[in-house]
Chains A and B, each alone.
Chain A
Amino acid sequence: MKALANLSDIIIPVLIFFIVGYGITSRVKVYEAFLKGARDGLKIVVDIVPTLIGLLVAVGMLRSSGFFDMLGNLLAPATEAVGLPAQLMPLLIVKLFSSSAATGLVLDVFRTSGPDSYAGLLTSILMSCTETVFYTMSVYFLAAKVTKTRYTLTGALLATLAGTVASVILAGRMV
């Protein structure tokens, strides 16, 4: 775990150094390029502001109504046996359908337990290694006009499960 922690610390500075260095040696006007990209990045964030407002409001209302607590207490015995805090169950399910709705739940975990708690770390890793299964499948197969998806769903769920198990193990080593 020590090596992994060190890698986490150095990867961003090394990456920035490499990209800027590579840019200079390729005679790119690096600062101009950076400004252009940063401007595009800001546009992306502005575009998602309404989404975030809508979803954070929905999740905040759900949290304050006591619904999550009720759900958590209901699921706790089953999930805690395998090392998953019950509060992550809604997240795991919603993540299969919509990544922006899942983001609302992630932020709720961060707010209630803190990003450095076991639940917070597990959430962070989990969200970095899984993708929205049903949403991706419906959009991509629609592009190819395919209705019989054969073994795609099984494979996608299997990969998601493997990523979830790995996340539980890794997060357990971090706290």
Chain B
Amino acid sequence: MLNAIWAVMILIAVFYGALTGRMSDVTNAALDSAGEAISLCITMAGVVALWMGLMEIATRAGLVAKLTRGIAPFLRFMFPKLPKDHPAGQYIATNIIANVLGLGWACTPAGLKAMEALADLEAERGNPDYLPDSSSVLPERAPKRTDGPGRDLPFGRNRRASSEMCTFLILNISSLQLIPVNMIAYRNQYGSSNPTAIIAPAIAATLVSTLTAIVYCKIKDHGSVIIQSGSRRRKGR
């Protein structure tokens, strides 16, 4: 994805610069921006190191684990059909708390684990899309590849996302965040008189997007419960 975006940006810049006769500006911009990136990183390093240091204290004191347990009622509300103590629940909780605290490094691994665990859950539920397929080629080894960045899916069938997966991803993308650490660092670097002034409005805005996500998922979930309740009940939980 980024390969294409970056290349397009560079190519357009040179092409358009040549068109408007601003090649010398483009040259200067390329050199200045490279230096600017370094000075930005120096400012950012301080803020990010401070935040990560505090988070390490919170982790060792058990605060992060406590928060992760604390959102269990919220998870039960958002994922009512997720069996209690299923590993997916733990990963989802870790991912959400890491998101809220701005712990980028902890979000993605937990999120990917959560998706894998949700796929296992579908297999446990007997969803045919997710069961190991013995009739044709081994799905993991199937050499079927379509071109395009990130789109080479090494499996034969079209798996349909479970409701839990949709809810989890929509929640994740609605990005509940407590302190926008990076934004504060950038604002500081570019001479804001009050870099942290955006914290409260950002929390308010993020609440709006997350509440929208919750309402949307609940409406969608409710619809699919009515349609699927017959088959679900027969298989048991």
The yes or no answer to A133 lying at the interface (CB within 8 A) is yes
Dominant SS among interface residues on chain A: helix
Within the complex, which residue of A3, A22, A137, A148 is in contact with B169, where a contact is CB–CB below 8 Å?
A: A137
List the A residue with the shortest CB-CB distance to B166.
A152
- Distance in angstroms from B141 CB to nearest chain A CB is 13
> Cα distance A154–B183 when bound, in Å?
27
> Cα distance A148–B11 when bound, in Å?
34
> Cα distance A97–B44 when bound, in Å?
23
B53, A148: Cβ atoms under 8 Å? no
The yes or no answer to A77 lying at the interface (CB within 8 A) is no
Report which residue of B63, B116, B173 has the largest number of chain A beta carbons within 10 angstroms of its beta carbon. B173
Q: Which A44-100 residues sit within 8 Å CB-CB of chain B?
A: 44-46, 48-49, 52-67, 70, 94, 97-98, 100
B29, A127: Cβ atoms under 8 Å? no
A residues less than 8 Å from B54 (CB atoms): 15-16, 19-20, 34, 37
Contacts between chains A and B (CB distance < 8 A), count:
365
A residues less than 8 Å from B170 (CB atoms): 152, 155-156, 159
> Cα distance A55–B37 when bound, in Å?
9
Within the complex, which residue of B1, B58, B179, B200 is in contact with A4, where a contact is CB–CB below 8 Å?
A: B200
**Which one, B19-27, B68-76, B77-85, B227-235, is touching chain A?**
B19-27
A residues less than 8 Å from B195 (CB atoms): 115
> Cα distance A97–B205 when bound, in Å?
20
Dominant SS among interface residues on chain B: helix
Determine the interface band of chain A, counting residues with CB < 8 A from chain B. Answer: 35 or more
Chain A to chain B contacts (Cβ below 8 Å), 15 pairs = A8-B201, A34-B56, A52-B37, A54-B6, A56-B40, A65-B13, A101-B2, A106-B186, A116-B194, A120-B190, A144-B116, A145-B159, A151-B166, A155-B217, A170-B204
Given contacts A39-B49, A120-B192, 15 further A-B contacts (CB under 8 A): A4-B201, A7-B199, A19-B57, A26-B60, A42-B48, A42-B49, A52-B37, A60-B33, A61-B9, A61-B10, A97-B5, A128-B205, A129-B206, A155-B166, A155-B220
Interface residues of B (CB under 8 A from A): 1-2, 5-6, 9-10, 12-14, 16-17, 20, 22, 25-26, 28-30, 32-34, 36-38, 40-41, 44-45, 48-63, 104-105, 108, 111-112, 115-116, 118-119, 150-151, 153, 155, 158-161, 165-166, 169-170, 172-175, 177, 179-180, 182-183, 186-187, 189-202, 204-206, 208-213, 216-217, 220
